[in-house]
C-alpha cells in the first residue's frame, strides 16, 4: 500500500493495516533524520515526524526545543489529525538543560493524554552511542550533551550517519534496556535513555523478515 508523508490534515480509512507512530522530538535535525529511516521498516507501521507549522499548515523552522513547546506541537497535531485507536503518540526529549520540575510536568501531561514519553539523560546521543557500544566511557567532570555528541562522532570512521545507525537500533534496545536499572523512574538516570521503549514498539509491529531486510540494507550502506 502506497503511503505519503502527511501534514496535519489527512483522510483516514475506516480500516487500515498499519500502526501510526507520530513522533514529536526536540528541534534537532539529527532526531528527525534518524526516525525517518524507520518509515521503510515495515508495511505494518507508518511514521509521522511532527513539525512546527503556521496557521496554513506549512512547515516552519523553529529554534524552540523546550519540553513545553514540543508538547504544544504534538497537541496541535493531535487536534488536526484523525488519530484512531492503536495509533501511538511519542514525545522524545532530552534532560540536557531543562529543570527536573519542567520534565515532571511534561510526564504528567503525557500520561493524562495517553501519550508515550521517551527521555534521554542527558541527550539523544546516549541512545545513538548504544548502537555501537555497550557502555559509554565517562567524560570526567563533563556531563553535558556536548561530550556525548563529540564521543558519537568518534565511534565510526566517517562520523554519524542515520542510514548506518538505524539498522543497529534493535541491538541497541537490549543494551539501553539493561542500563535502565530503575525503569519506573519518569526521568532516567545519567547515561540512560528511554528511546528503547519506542523502538520496542516499532519492532513489535514488524515481521521477522522485515527486520532482517532492514538490517541487511543498513549493512550495505556502510
Q: What is the DSSP string of 146-200?
A: HHHHHHHHTSSTT---HHHHGGGHHHHHHHHHHH-S-TT-SSPPTTEESHHHHHH
DSSP single-letter state for residue 98: S
What angle (nearest 5°) sits at the alpha carbon of residue 133, between those of residues 26 and 25?
A: 10
Task: For 9-63, give the DSSP string.
Answer: --PPPSS-SSEEEEEEE-S-HHHHHHHHGGGGS-TTEEEEE---B-TTS-B----
pLDDT at 128: 97
Q: How confident is the model at residue 82, as a pLDDT?
A: 85
Q: Is the pLDDT of residue 10 over 80?
A: no
- The answer for residues whose C-beta is within 8 angstroms of residue 143's C-beta and 6 or more apart is 122, 190
pLDDT of residue 104 exceeding 50, the answer is yes
User: For position 6, what pLDDT does the model report?
Assistant: 45
pLDDT the model gives residue 54: 55
- Give me the mean pLDDT over the 147-162 stretch: 92
Q: How confident is the model at residue 199 (pLDDT cuts 50, 70, 90)?
A: very high
- Average pLDDT of the chain is 86
Q: How far apart are CA 46 and CA 22, in angstroms?
A: 8
What is residue 51's predicted lDDT score, i.e. its pLDDT?
83
Q: What is the pLDDT of residues 46-71, one digit of tens each?
A: 999 998 765 555 555 665 678 999 99
Q: 122: cis peptide before it, omega within 30°?
A: yes
pLDDT in tens, 11-32: 444 466 788 999 999 866 899 9
C-alpha cell at position 66: 523546550
How much of the chain, in percent, has pLDDT values that exceed 70? 84
Tell me whether residue 180 is exposed, middle or buried, using C-beta atoms within 10 angstroms of its C-beta: 0 to 12, 13 to 18, 19 or more. middle
Amino acid at each position: 500500500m502506497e503511503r505519503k508523508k502527511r501534514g496535519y490534515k489527512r483522510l483516514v480509512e475506516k480500516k487500515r493495516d498499519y500502526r501510526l507512530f507520530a513522533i514529536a522530538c526536540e528541534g534537532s535535525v539529527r532526531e528527525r533524520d534518524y526516525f525517518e529511516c524507520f518509515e521503510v521498516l515495515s508495511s505494518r507501521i507508518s511514521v509521522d515526524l511532527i513539525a512546527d507549522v503556521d496557521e496554513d499548515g506549512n512547515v516552519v523552522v523553529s529554534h524552540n526545543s523546550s519540553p513545553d513547546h514540543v508538547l504544544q506541537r504534538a497537541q496541535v497535531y493531535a487536534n488536526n489529525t484523525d488519530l484512531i485507536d492503536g495509533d501511538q503518540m511519542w514525545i522524545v526529549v532530552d534532560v540536557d538543560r531543562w529543570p527536573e520540575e519542567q520534565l515532571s510536568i511534561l510526564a504528567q501531561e503525557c500520561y493524562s493524554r495517553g501519550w508515550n514519553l521517551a527521555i534521554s539523560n542527558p541527550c539523544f546521543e546516549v541512545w545513538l552511542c548504544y548502537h555501537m557500544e555497550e557502555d559509554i566511557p565517562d567524560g570526567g567532570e563533563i556531563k553535558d550533551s556536548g561530550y556525548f555528541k563529540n564521543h558519537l562522532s568518534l565511534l565510526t570512521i566517517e562520523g554519524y550517519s542515520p542510514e548506518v545507525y538505524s539498522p543497529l537500533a534493535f541491538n541497541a534496545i537490549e543494551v539501553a534496556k539493561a542500563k535502565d536499572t530503575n525503569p519506573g523512574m519518569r526521568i532516567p538516570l545519567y547515561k540512560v535513555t528511554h528511546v528503547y521503549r519506542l523502538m520496542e514498539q516499532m519492532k513489535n509491529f514488524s515481521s521477522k523478515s522485515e527486520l532482517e531486510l532492514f538490517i541487511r540494507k543498513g549493512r550495505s550502506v556502510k
